[in-house]
Structure 1
Amino acid sequence: MLTRTLSDCEEFVAGDHTVLRELLHPDKQAAKVGYSLAHGKLAAGRRSKWHVLKSSEVYYFIAGEGTFAIDGERCSVTAGSMVYVPPGAKQSLENTGTGDVEFLCLVDPAWRMEDESILE
């Protein structure tokens, strides 16, 4: 059985400037999955850098409020919101609230540094 808690996962700053903790990655745990799952947060008043991934992503927001932009379209996000980002889409998240935006991000196929391009 594979179990982890958020506190088991090392926090790091991603290339887009969000703070992440990888909960599940097939290259790092004995899990026969093709995706990765991370917990992320973005501080109040911050915006992630514009970036593109070769993989698809699904964001599920668990706290805070913000604006998610994908290829020129924008939507508001709050706890309970879900956003799908297709492979190759230009994206950025802006925290418009007073506390951290927190989210879970599923990347399929699993996130790899060489599959991400930071655009700014």
Structure 2
Amino acid sequence: MLIKNLKNCPEIIGNDGSIIREILSPLRDNVAVNFSIAHAKVMPGEATLLHKLKSSEIYYILEGEGEMYIDDEKEIVREGHLIYIPPNSTQRIKNIGKNVLSFLCIVEPAWREENEEILSK
């Protein structure tokens, strides 16, 4: 059994500029899964850098409101929305609300730095 508390996971600034806490990764945890889960936050008025992953990714919005950009598409997303991001798609999310935009990032296969490319600074 593995139980983790989000509050005990170290907070870092991700390559895309979001505030990240890695919750689960088969690269660091003794788990037989092929995906990773992280908790991400974007502060009001801020956005992640344009980037892409070689892996597929799912965002599940926990709180807040944002504009999700995937390739040439743009949609408003909010609490309760699940967004599928295909592999190799350009992506970014902007917080358009007054509160923190908070979401889970589920990456399959598990996130690795070498599979992420930052496209803008």
TM-score higher than 0.5: yes
Q: RMSD of the TM alignment (CA)? A: 0.5
Matched with 2:79 is 79
Amino acid corresponding to residue 52 of structure 2 in structure 1:
V
2:117 corresponds in structure 1 to: 117
1:28 is aligned to 2:15: no
TM-score, normalised to structure 2's length?
Answer: 0.98
Q: Normalization by structure 1: what TM-score? A: 0.99
- Deviation of the 1:8 alpha carbon: 1.5
What amino acid is aligned across from residue 23 of structure 1 in structure 2?
I
Gaps of 5+ in 2: none
Match of 1:93 in 2: 93
* Correspondence for 1:58: 58
Q: Which residue of 2 aligns with 1:40?
A: 40
Q: Which runs of 5+ in 1 are unaligned?
A: none
Corresponding residue pairs, total: 120
Q: Give the drift of 1:72.
A: 1.0
Which one-letter code corresponds to 1:98 in the other structure?
A: K
